[in-house]
Structure 1
């Protein structure tokens, strides 16, 4: 009870702090998203994440500690380790790469099946929606079978990390999340 009061008091006067795990297949745009959120601009020379990157980003009253975890097959087993202490899991999908949607769905289902991740809110982002041939937000919800997930809060947004589009909607959603007691 005292911890809940302290968290409420801190958020009221000092803002909110969230620990976020960003996961998804390679080339989905996780690092681009983190960099765009941090600097407000797109950097052309983003290299693939090997292992993980950590970045602290403040947007308004929300301080986000972001774990950007590599999406190559060899790093996917580590996703659970980074996600278990997170307040929210952000799963980034390349909305233009329809050939990898089945693999993305399988990896998401495997990830959220871990008992240690039970109840952690999930935000699925369809990145690159500014490009021709990408799927819509509703198609992403259907393709990723998000309506079947019942054990946690789930949201989905189409974004463009490169163009910094719809990031504000994602941030509004994140700012409304309750931090889990640690």
Structure 2
């Protein structure tokens, strides 16, 4: 039994996966990244370009690229797509006006050749905000049921408290273990 556990430990501890964290500006991408990294809230400013951090969760190493979401930066997102295993799209659940813009960006990404094997985790952030959209409403607005070529999951969360963030990583872990 000990030999089996050792082999499993080695099998999972050598894993490394590339993640891109995308979404519109002010969605909470950087706050989520640093909450996952340090388990605390860090004061952030708008990301110009990208931030990259290494996060280990359940002996799996994730190289996370947090990419700026301002309109002028979105056209450069594709430069980060190569070798991406997971896309974390962060949606501001309180930003009803720009949900259609987020939908357009999501489908542009999913149609990109470099992301055809990537799985998608949608963090429905800011669930603590009064009158925010539920994950059901966001799923419908984004027409997630139409996604057939990518595994996906929508996870309600609050980047400030950290609520829901680890559940999203649990889904990612289950995707990794299911693909082996």
TM-score normalized with structure 2 length: 0.89
Please report how far the alpha carbon of residue 10 of structure 1 lies from its aligned counterpart in structure 2 after TM superposition.
4.2
Conserved 8 A contact 2:25-2:70: yes
Offset, 1:131: 1.1
Counterpart in the other structure of 2:141 = 143
Alignment partners' CA distance in 2, 1:117 and 1:58: 22
Partner of 1:5: none
Q: Give the secondary-structure state (helix, strand or coil) at the position aligned to 2:123.
A: strand
Q: Secondary structure at the match of 2:30?
A: helix
Secondary structure of the corresponding residue to residue 178 of structure 1: helix
CA contact (8 A) 1:16 1:175 kept: no
Output the CA distance in 1 between the equivalents of 2:60 and 2:158.
21
Instruction: Report deviation, 1:164.
Output: 0.5
Judge conservation of contact 1:32–1:46 (CA < 8 Å) in 2: yes
Structure 1 residue ranges without an equivalent (≥5): 1-7
- 8 Å CA contact 1:119, 1:153 repeated in 2: no
Runs of 4+ aligned residues of structure 1 deviating over 4 Å after TM superposition are: none
RMSD across aligned C-alpha pairs, in angstroms? Answer: 1.8
Indicate yes or no: 2:98 matched with 1:114.
Answer: no
Q: How far off its partner does 1:42 sit?
A: 1.0
Q: How many residues align?
A: 171
Q: Which residue of 1 aligns with 2:100?
A: 102
Does 2:34 correspond to 1:39? no
Gapped regions of structure 2 (runs ≥ 5): 1-7
